[in-house]
Amino acid sequence: MTEYMIELYAPRDDCDGVAATTARLSRHIEVVRSIFVAEDETCFVFVKAAAVGDVHAAAARAQLELERVVETTFDTGERPILKGAS
């Protein structure tokens, strides 16, 4: 499955709302993790899905308004580190 990042508006002082949003979404799609950036009033939710259309469908079922959805890649840190590289 592919991992996608969903960007959502989240009011600055609404941690409970962010948790509720993630919970609603997780009923419809696999939620990997979420990050709430209160200063920017933004929530990033990382999900796994077969296709980007599945992400949009899950968000619609969860009654969420998305700012954007992008495919992501995950760096496991298992790549060799090159000496002298910065």
Task: Read off the pLDDT of residues 9-68 as tens digits, 9 standing for 90 and up.
Answer: 988 887 787 778 888 888 888 998 888 898 999 989 999 999 999 999 998 988 888 899
DSSP at 77: S
- Backbone phi, then psi, for 14, in 5-degree steps? -120, 60
* Structural domains counted in the chain: 1
19 lies in which domain range?
Answer: 2-72
For residue 85, being part of any structural domain is answered with no
Q: Taking 70 as the threshold, does the pLDDT of residue 81 lie above it?
A: no
* Residue closest to 64 by CA, chosen among 39, 30, 28, 33: 28
CATH number (domain holding residue 42): 3.30.70.100
Establish if 86 belongs to a structural domain.
no
Average pLDDT over residues 68-82: 73
For 14, the token pair is: 């609404």
pLDDT for the residue 76 = 64
59 with 21: CB under 8 angstroms?
A: no
Q: Residue 82: inside a domain, yes or no?
A: no
Tell me how far apart the alpha carbons of residues 61 and 63 are, in angstroms, rounded to a whole number: 5
In a domain, 77, yes or no: no
Model confidence at 86, in pLDDT bands (50, 70, 90)?
very low
Binning pLDDT at 50, 70 and 90, where does residue 77 land?
low
